[in-house]
Structure 1
């Protein structure tokens, strides 16, 4: 199933795993580009900083290597269009730095959009359909297997960027983002085992939390979630650079995590 802004790539019917790749694209539709204040060179630099480059490729390697193919939900547009993992209201602390569901500031806190910019059309056109499709994808895994496990695939820079609200903590090669309600201990343990060979990992630093559709968040324990944050020097040559050999190793580690998730809830 496809839409203008995302791909849902089918996995095995009995797989509960949904790999979510929200920030891998650099694509910005021309009409959206018109509302961005940066010149072309500035925009390319911002995309280098903000894009989780090659995370879609890591997810693809994992899907191909896993014993049971996971489902994949991949954003086809840049997070500079909308960020599907933000809340579109005042509950999201990233609004404080102009990086809510529709960004108004850059990673370096410069103006990205005019102060009078109305985000409603972008929310209606992209954010809401994306959120609804993720809810549907989770509902389908629940109906098919009795559980859903959302594994977010992200990356982050070696050095903190000015927009980061919690950038002063450790920045290990692998960060595992968790949620007290949606991350069962067995899933976290499996991730630690799968990603244990990359020179260090930590939990919820420098980024914390997981993505779960709001209709399930804090309500349905059948929905598990974990965020995988990969420090970018583990696999590419630099911001916007080509993927290195680490891409295959990371995909294999992600496949090992997928294989550790049972296809149906434990009895």
Structure 2
């Protein structure tokens, strides 16, 4: 199992225009707070970039032409904030953007692919879990107003239906609401294997921040944090059992 945890960091890297100009609000609202703590499982690999998505979002397609969120100024390198207004006082040049992509985005995806390919030499299948959280109320740029407790993101080629059903039943049995691909859809797979290798499985797990943070849900853990952590461990156990059944 590989846990891909792309949005847990609040760090802005060494581009002065970012350090000086990024709005605190963007960091607070767009960080997947503590997902690096909520998602942990024995014998799993973890891939966690040490920089904020506001600086470089490794979940986007590299080219703006391929990335739907680039229209909203939220491609690999964000130019707009959650309010749709310019994020930076001075726009980055194409050269600056390419430096960020090559130094951070490309490096992350190389490391991700290396871990996946190494795991594929050891196991018949490898399951990627794309680990996220989302704000309790929709942000202005979002297309869906739905706010379940958990959202499961799937891909028709890479996500086993039985795993989705088992996780959904498990969560609903605990009293949580669950939606599939709403308000967020899809899940990550390295391009080398995307829709090509059926031995790479993937699912996205999105947890509503109201379940484990104190309002306004921007960084302070609630008393339920450990409970939610245990629930997520239960999800990962379901995935692990699926993996074991393939050996």
TM-score by length of 2: 0.90
Provide the rounded CA distance (Å) in 2 between the counterparts of 1:258 and 1:140: 21
Q: Shift of the alpha carbon at 1:266? A: 2.7
**1:107 lines up with 2:117 in the alignment:** no
Gaps of 5+ in 1: 1-16
Give the counterpart of 2:25 among 42, 45, 56: 45
Provide the rounded CA distance (Å) in 2 between the counterparts of 1:75 and 1:127: 9
Determine the structure 1 residue equivalent to 2:4.
20
Provide the rounded CA distance (Å) in 1 between the counterparts of 2:224 and 2:3: 19
Give the counterpart of 1:145 among 123, 130, 134: 123
**1:179 lines up with 2:163 in the alignment:** no
Determine the structure 1 residue equivalent to 2:207.
230
Determine the structure 2 residue equivalent to 1:73.
47
The CA RMSD measured in Å over matched residues stands at 1.9
Provide the rounded CA distance (Å) in 1 between the counterparts of 2:225 and 2:199: 31
Q: Shift of the alpha carbon at 1:115? A: 4.0
Give the counterpart of 2:165 among 186, 189, 201: 189
Determine the structure 1 residue equivalent to 2:197.
220
* Contact 1:19-1:150 within 8 A present in 2 as well: yes
Gaps of 5+ in 2: none
Provide the rounded CA distance (Å) in 2 between the counterparts of 1:146 and 1:212: 17
Q: Shift of the alpha carbon at 1:124? A: 0.7
Provide the rounded CA distance (Å) in 1 between the counterparts of 2:85 and 2:19: 10
Provide the rounded CA distance (Å) in 1 between the counterparts of 2:99 and 2:87: 17
Aligned residues: 239
Which structure carries more helix by proportion? 2
Determine the structure 2 residue equivalent to 1:6.
none
Q: Secondary structure at the match of 2:71?
A: helix
TM-score by length of 1: 0.83
Q: Shift of the alpha carbon at 1:146? A: 1.4
Moved over 4 A (4+): none
